[in-house]
Amino acid sequence: MTLPVTLTLNAGSSSLKFSMYNIAGAGEPQLMAVGGVENIGGQPQLKTQFGLNEPAVKQDLAAVQAQDHSSALNTALALLREKFPAAKASVVGHRVVHGGPHFSKAVVINDAVLKELKSLSPLAPLHEPHNIAGVEAAKIHFPDALQVACFDTAFHRKHPKVNDTFAIPREYYDKGVRRYGFHGLSYEYISGELERIAPLLFAGRVVVAHLGNGASMCAILNGRSVASTMGFTPLDGLPMGTRCGQIDPGVIFYLQQQEGLSVDQVRDMFYYKSGLLGLSDISNDMRVLLNAQVPEAHEAIDYFVFRIRRELGGLAATLGGVDALVFCGGIGENAVEIRRRICEDLSWIGIEVDTNKNEANAQVISTEFSRTRVMVIPTNEELVIARAAKRLLAEQQ
């Protein structure tokens, strides 16, 4: 007897994250396995975890086992088939970073959709091609399964015009040059959790801080995104692990004209050599920087915190106040010191953090007198993808 499952795939430039969910029955998808292949095309490593309460296992792979996304997927599938021989993938859900101006919800991938996704590659040249590679690899491995695209931009597609445009000639807006916002799958999950556990907060003014190697913030009003720190690309807004965040466009002209850098060199710098790594010249890992007793590490952290506080003020102004601030992502969920520093001296916006609750990583870390609820909610983008995949599969049957 076969067991219907959904696979979720998140393909990066040199990585492939995956999960497997049991979608039998009418309830929520049930996690069976989660993992990823890192350093595809180099010295690859496979990390897997079977169930929420099992320890993660890492193993080094031979180069041939993950020389491209297709072979990496094949390696991961071999392990899943060995562990779950009765499982059959009925639907594969894909994280797609950019959905452009038209995709405002998850869709079934057919030839027309795939063609449209390829046309969006210039809007996200360092992300979209790898997402598409994951789709094409999955189509080879699962020719009978439904393929579903879930977009990081979709959650933001109903932004007010003022938060959706740039002050450049209008013709470029119609060509797709606009503010899209990203991390939408994460924000969708957090918003759904708030609706479940704190419906009054969900109906109010919420700022979510998704802080990890990629970082952004989103203003949400009654469950709807109204502003995001990220814009046309995932470069904008907050400084990140290796990405620069907000920068004066004049810097680009200077680097090209005065420093002689090419477009590719500037892009490589902004995506891979900037952010916490560039500021510290040590690491893009916040854990390393917090333990490093050198001025450069402190300066990088100071800038990271400063930009978050500055963006929080701007998003609060957009919302007309803040009823809840929610932290998620690797840093947001685990870095006690960063949360403390972000929330320090913010009583003017109604934020007071309980030190003991913060250090315990409690779900609510604000004091009982804080006008603004401050929460820590672990995000789960894979579950959002699995839910959408299961729903679209049911609609096709």
Predicted pLDDT of residue 203: 97
Per-domain boundaries in the chain: 3-151, 199-376
3-151 and 199-376 have identical folds: yes
Reply yes or no on domain 199-376 having CATH 2.40.30.10.
no
The neighbouring-strand residues paired with 21 are: 6, 31
Predicted pLDDT of residue 14: 76
Closest to 324 in 3D by CA, of 335, 312, 334, 333: 312
Predicted pLDDT of residue 125: 80
Whether 152 is catalytic: yes
Taking a C-beta distance cutoff of 8 angstroms, is the pair 276, 283 a contact? yes
Predicted pLDDT of residue 1: 67
Closest to 35 in 3D by CA, of 21, 19, 22: 19
Classify domain 3-151 at the CATH topology level.
Answer: Nucleotidyltransferase; domain 5 (3.30.420)
Tokens of 166: 């740039």
d(CA 186, CA 189) in angstroms, rounded, equals 5
Taking a C-beta distance cutoff of 8 angstroms, is the pair 140, 378 a contact? no
Predicted pLDDT of residue 19: 96
- Residue stretches of the chain with pLDDT short of 50: none
Predicted pLDDT of residue 134: 87
Give the distance between the most distant pair of CA atoms in the chain: 67
Per DSSP (E only), the strands in the chain are 3-11, 16-22, 30-38, 45-49, 57-60, 87-96, 107-108, 146-151, 205-211, 215-221, 224-228, 324-328, 373-376
Predicted pLDDT of residue 123: 82
- Its pTM stands at 0.94
Contacts of 181 (CB under 8 A, 6+ apart): 153, 155, 156, 159, 216, 218, 225, 228, 230, 231
Give buried/exposed letters for 270-304 (b at 16+ CB in 10 A, else e): bbbebbbbbbbeebbbbeebeebeeeebeebbebb
Name residue, tokens 């959904």.
6
What would the pLDDT profile of 286-319 be if each residue is shown by its tens digit?
Answer: 999 999 999 999 999 999 999 999 999 999 999 9
Contacts of 339 (CB under 8 A, 6+ apart): 327, 332, 353, 358, 365, 376
* Coil, strand or helix at 94: strand
The residue annotated as part of the active site, out of 60, 144, 152, 302, is 152
Taking a C-beta distance cutoff of 8 angstroms, is the pair 306, 279 a contact? no
